[in-house]
Structures are given as C-alpha cells and as structure tokens.
Amino acid sequence: MAKNPVVIGVAGGSGSGKTSVTKAIYEHFKGHSILMLEQDFYYKDQSHLPFEQRLNTNYDHPLAFDNDLLIEHLNALMNHNSIEKPVYDYTLHTRSEDVIIVEPKDVIILEGILILEDERLRELMDIKLFVDTDADLRIIRRILRDIKERGRSIDSVIEQYISVVRPMHNQFIEPTKRYADIIIPEGGQNHVAIDLMVTKIQTILELNAIL
C-alpha cells in the first residue's frame, strides 16, 4: 500500500522570502520525489467578468483564490493521482486556457500568502511554516521585483502597497502566523532554518523508501 505524501505548507507575506525558502528546499531535493504547488496558480477564473472589472481584482484577499480547486487537487495528489494545475494570465487578469500536468510525489510543498488562512487547507498539512520578515524589507523586495520583473513604476508599487497589500497583510496574512508549527525569520537568508527543514524532509524520504 502506497504511503501518503507529506504536505509542507510555506506561508508569509508578499516579499517575505517564502518563495526563496520553498525553492531552496526544492532545489536541494531536485531529482527526488518532491513537488511544488503554488497558491498563486489558483486565482479564481474571471473570464465571465468584463476586463475593466478584472483590473480591480484584489490579489491579496482570501476571496481571490479558488481554494476549492486547490483542495481538490491536493487531495488528488495525496491519493497518488495526477492533476491539471491551472495557469493564471496576469495580463488578462483571469485563468489561462493552459494547464500544467503535475504527477504525485512523496513530498508536496504548498506555498502561498494565504495557505494558512483556510482551515481546510491547514488540516491537509503535516508541517506548517510561516516566513516572518519585517515590513520594510518586504516593501523593498516588492518594489525591486515589480519594477524589474513587471515593468511597474515605483509610485504605482508604493500606492498599491499602502492601499491594498499592507492592510490585507495586517488583516488576513499576519494573523495566520499563529497556526504555524515553525516561524522562519528573514526567509531565504535563514540558512539554519532551511537546513533543518531539509534534514526533516530527508528523514521523511528515507522512511518512505524503507516502508
């Protein structure tokens, strides 16, 4: 009988370094039985809405995510079935017609700003991490990322941060810290915490190989 995969949740605010933590763990085990599942891929389909209305989407609010589909896919992977992961088109502000086939693995890393907000998701996780980084570092990282990767102006990034990102973080993301088993300060720069997680996952993989 196949053993259930181990699900590790990695949460934290925008710019906290949660993606760096996730990638550092994943890269260490590249080639092993491990996969990444990003909550960002599970924004709701908005193709039924006019484009002008889609422009007002608050991507930092829990209601922006299709957690029903994410939970369905997570359960499928845990039952050793493949899934068709959706792809989100940020230029059209809706789900793309493309999908990505994801095969089940022994370890699943689920990463996203609000994965600890939904109790149904929390119940599927074996280990819950929260990457906790000071607000000034998070805004600097977001400014640099959005200017470099998304071609945005510094004024637009700061305006969005003040009007949407910061209040959503304080209201919805920060409170989920209390659900975490482990809090990792400073994200990808915290090599000690990452090494501890790598060791834990290594133990899980070795146990799965034996059982």
- Report pLDDT for 72: 98
pLDDT tens for each residue of the chain, 211 residues long = 457 888 999 999 988 888 889 988 888 887 888 899 999 999 999 999 999 999 888 999 999 999 999 999 999 999 999 999 999 998 888 999 999 999 999 899 999 999 999 999 999 999 999 999 888 888 888 888 888 877 788 888 888 888 888 999 999 999 999 999 999 987 767 889 889 888 988 887 777 666 5
Please tell me whether residue 151 adopts helix, strand or coil conformation: coil
Provide the 3-class DSSP secondary structure of residue 71: helix
CATH superfamily of 6-210: P-loop containing nucleotide triphosphate hydrolases (3.40.50.300)
Could you state, in order of their start, the residue ranges of all structural domains in the chain?
6-210
Tokens for 5, please give them: 């995969």
Residue 117 has what pLDDT?
97
CA atoms within 13 A on the CB side of 111: 21
The confidence score (pLDDT) of residue 178 equals: 96
Contacts of 138 (CB under 8 A, 6+ apart): 13, 14, 15, 16
pLDDT at residue 1, as a whole number: 42
pLDDT at 65: 97
φ/ψ (deg, to 5) at 65: -100, 145
